[in-house]
A = this chain, B = another copy of it.
Amino acid sequence: MTDCATCVVRNRAICASLNPAELAALGKMGRRQKVRQGQTLLWEGDGAPVVANVLEGVLKLVVSAADGREQIVGVVFPSDFIGRPFGKESPYSVTAMTDAEVCIFNRNNFDEFASSHPDLQQKLLRRTLDELDRARHWMMLLGRKSASEKVASFLLEMSERLSGQGCQSGARTGFELPFGRQQVADILGLTIETTSRQLTRMRADGVLDLPSRREIVINDRAAMEDMAG
């Protein structure tokens, strides 16, 4: 069992919809678990017996083809929800991109609990609708944008989502990506070389700086927004 009262995402995760008694009941079902970078929590096509809240770290949702090609279809941050309630098998695998900690529930237990807690279910619905919007927006990027537009859009979105994490609000000009070039490429539907070239060119054009491998500093946000298409 888990102590929800002290949970870092208590007020942001779907649990925020619950009163203390309900929270205690849910807490009995859940347990905290550390996940190492690179470790896979859920496998594509698996029975997917669990769902979870992310407490710390960043994880990726991956769909892969038989020949090894991979597409990252989602990236989840603390307070986000992972897994597939009311489903049979996981349609993608979930892997930690950094060391992470999650709060895990048995899927059947969670489904049952959710069915009897409409507020929780509504929170889950809202989150799922947001995710769907995000996914569809990403489809436009994958299907219609050029390499430079993809990279620019990606950096802008990351600057926003990562700033949701820390203290300041609003988009940041400088931030650290929680993943390497290959992962960026897998998010954008590009190769690692093309991704690298686009970043290099943007640096040459003065639109951004790359202080280290994973750090990004956006110098000219307006130009970046233009590039994003």
Contacts and interface: CB of A to CB of B under 8 A. Distances in A.
Interface of A: 61, 63-67, 69-71, 73-74, 84-87, 91-92, 115, 118, 121-122, 124-126, 128-129, 131-133, 135-140, 142-145, 188-189, 229
Contact of A126 (B86, B91, B122, B129): B86
Query: How many copies of this chain?
Result: 2
Contacts of A66: 229
A21 B205 CA distance: 65
A63 B139 contact: yes
A224 to B, nearest CB: 15
Contacts of A73: 136-137, 139-140
Contacts of A229: 65-67
A131 B87 CA distance: 12
B71 A143 contact: yes
A63 B121 CA distance: 28
Most chain B beta-carbon contacts within 10 A, residue among A61, A64, A92 = A92
A86 B125 CA distance: 9
Given A139-B135, A229-B65, A85 B115 contact: no
Contact of A69 (B64, B87, B144, B188): B144
Nearest to A124: B125
B133 A91 contact: yes
A135 B137 contact: no
B144 A189 contact: yes
Q: 10 tightest CB-CB pairs across the interface, nearest first?
A: A143-B189, A142-B142, A73-B136, A118-B118, A63-B140, A71-B140, A135-B135, A142-B143, A71-B143, A91-B133
B143 A87 contact: no
A64 B143 CA distance: 11
21 contacts: A70-B144, A71-B139, A71-B140, A71-B143, A71-B144, A73-B136, A84-B129, A86-B125, A87-B129, A87-B133, A91-B136, A91-B137, A115-B122, A118-B118, A124-B125, A125-B125, A131-B132, A132-B132, A135-B136, A139-B142, A142-B143
